[in-house]
Amino acid sequence: MTARLVLYGILAAVMAVSWASSCVIYRAAEIGDLVAPLDIIESGNLAAVVVGSGNGFENPERMGPSIAIGWDQRMLIVDAGRGVSEALRTSRIPLAQAEAVLLTSLLPENTVGLDDLLLTGWRQPREQSLRVYGPPGTRALCEAILQGHAIGIEAEGRSRGLPAGGAVLTGFDVEPGFSVELDGLAIEAFDLPGGPTPALGWRFERQGQSMFVAGAGWAPEAVVSAAKDVDYLFHEAVIIPPAEDAEEAGILIDPELLRMEAALHTNILDVGGIASRANAGALVLFRMKPPPFYDFQVTATVRKTYSGDLVVSSDGEEITPPRL
């Protein structure tokens, strides 16, 4: 009897050690996956990733607005919202692969991640400057970011032997109509007027595939024109209840605040109509406020005015144009 108990004890100890070892190995693999170098993304003809699907409000499940546009082994970022470095990591995109940022406006929700993207990516290391294209004021913003970090950049580069060129943020002020072609990818900036600050929408075309990213929600007709016949339209959607409905529901919201929100953002009741009039092959919703509890809450509403493909995006959502 005693021998049998000893044997059981040994077996239990072996099982406990094996279980503990398995947990350690699993955790080590998990940690390694979070910090190990990432391979360069191969995007094919044209693809996108919703790096950050959130807006300017804090939300650990939805990082600030950022869309990665990739073709072959090249990549651009449209807007650099909060937590952009972590969001890129979650999307399996190396920070140093992003060669330029295109800003839709200089609202803070689009720019707060610029220094993060620059300086965290520098450690990989990025060897070339990070270029930023946006409305007037972009150049001054980039210069101010570099000035603010000048002491830390000098110390970091000297102590770690990092390439000086990788810590340079080069800003370019562009006007609507600005266009450039990079390895067959045609890029054009469109004016989105009517808001409190200059805003741009960015259109991308390559070999019969196209995408349009609208960062502002205050220029629906301009979006319809600029995004005509695109494969994918990236657009915000905000739930803005009428003041009387909010009052009946017992929600105490300043009616003036609701009016201001309605002037700045696209109501979820209207976004489907915008995509329909643009004849967009698919509508990708991001910058949603408030974030939906369930996708069907959004799709049921948007489907009333839009019949194309609909994506209620999350961080890391991969997008490939379906139409050729």
- How do residues 154-193 score in pLDDT, each as one tens digit? 999 999 999 999 999 999 999 999 999 999 999 999 999 9
Residue ranges of domains in the chain: 39-319
- 39-319 CATH pick, 3.40.50.720, 3.40.350.10, 3.40.50.170, 3.60.15.10: 3.60.15.10
What pLDDT, in 10s, does the model give residues 71-126?
999 999 999 999 999 999 999 999 999 999 999 999 999 999 999 999 999 998 89
Pick the range with the lowest mean pLDDT from 64-78, 132-146, 225-239, 254-268.
Answer: 254-268
Give the rounded distance of the alpha carbon of 273 from its chain centre: 23
Residue 12 has pLDDT above 70, yes or no: no
What pLDDT, in 10s, does the model give residues 285-313?
999 988 887 888 899 999 999 999 999 99
The model's confidence at residue 28, banded by pLDDT at 50, 70 and 90, is very low
Bridge partners (DSSP) of residue 233 are 212, 283
What is residue 274's three-state secondary structure?
Answer: helix
Residue 33 has pLDDT above 70, yes or no: no
* 39: DSSP letter: P
Quote the CA–CA distance of 239 and 232 in Å, as a whole number: 22
What is the chain's mean pLDDT, rounded? 89
- How high is the pLDDT of residue 36? 74
Please state, in angstroms and as integers, the Cα–Cα distance from residue 139 to each residue in 85, 95, 136, 216, following that order. Answer: 22, 21, 7, 20
**Cα three-residue angle 6-9-15, rounded to 5 degrees:** 145
Q: In this structure, what are the phi and psi dihedrals at residue 138, rounded to the nearest 5 degrees?
A: -65, -45
The model's confidence at residue 257, banded by pLDDT at 50, 70 and 90, is confident
* pTM, full prediction: 0.87
Residue 64 has pLDDT above 50, yes or no: yes
- Rounded average pLDDT over 136-158: 98
What is residue 112's three-state secondary structure?
Answer: coil
Quote the CA–CA distance of 84 and 269 in Å, as a whole number: 29
Rounded to the nearest 10 degrees, the angle between the axes of helix 150-160 and helix 138-148 is 60
- How high is the pLDDT of residue 248? 57
Quote the CA–CA distance of 314 and 90 in Å, as a whole number: 11
- Rounded average pLDDT over 265-281: 97
Residue 19 has pLDDT above 90, yes or no: no
- How high is the pLDDT of residue 252? 56
